[in-house]
């Protein structure tokens, strides 16, 4: 029986991995420009970003959209 693979690029990807990959690809400055939140602009860290994104659904959605865009434009 063939293995089921989700077409959702976020399936099985942790929020931490999303954030780390975005920072590696764009850098904090460009990420802050694309997702305009203070936590990405002033002394950004992955732990502080994760804390904010976990309690702020609209920001998490923007980060997830940017991740999908990054994967479409620059497939691995």
Domains, the chain, with CATH or none: 15-73 (1.10.720.30)
Are 31 and 70 within 8 A, CB to CB? no
Q: What is the pLDDT of residue 5?
A: 66
What is d(CA 70, CA 54) in angstroms, rounded to the nearest whole number? 21
**Is the full-model pTM beyond 0.85?**
yes
What is the sign of the dihedral through the CA atoms of 55, 57, 58 and 62?
A: positive
Per-residue pLDDT of the chain (76 residues; tens, 9 = 90+): 566 667 778 888 999 999 999 999 999 999 999 999 999 999 999 999 999 999 999 999 999 999 999 999 987 6
Q: What is the pLDDT of residue 10?
A: 82
Q: What is the pLDDT of residue 1?
A: 55
């Amino acid at each position: 029986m063939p293995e089921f693979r989700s077409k959702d690029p976020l399936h099985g990807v942790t929020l931490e991995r999303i954030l780390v990959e975005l920072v590696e690809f764009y850098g904090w400055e460009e990420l802050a420009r694309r997702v305009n939140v203070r936590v990405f602009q002033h002394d950004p860290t992955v732990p502080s970003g994760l804390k904010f994104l976990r309690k702020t659904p609209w920001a998490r959605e923007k980060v997830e959209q940017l991740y999908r865009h990054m994967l479409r434009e620059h497939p691995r």
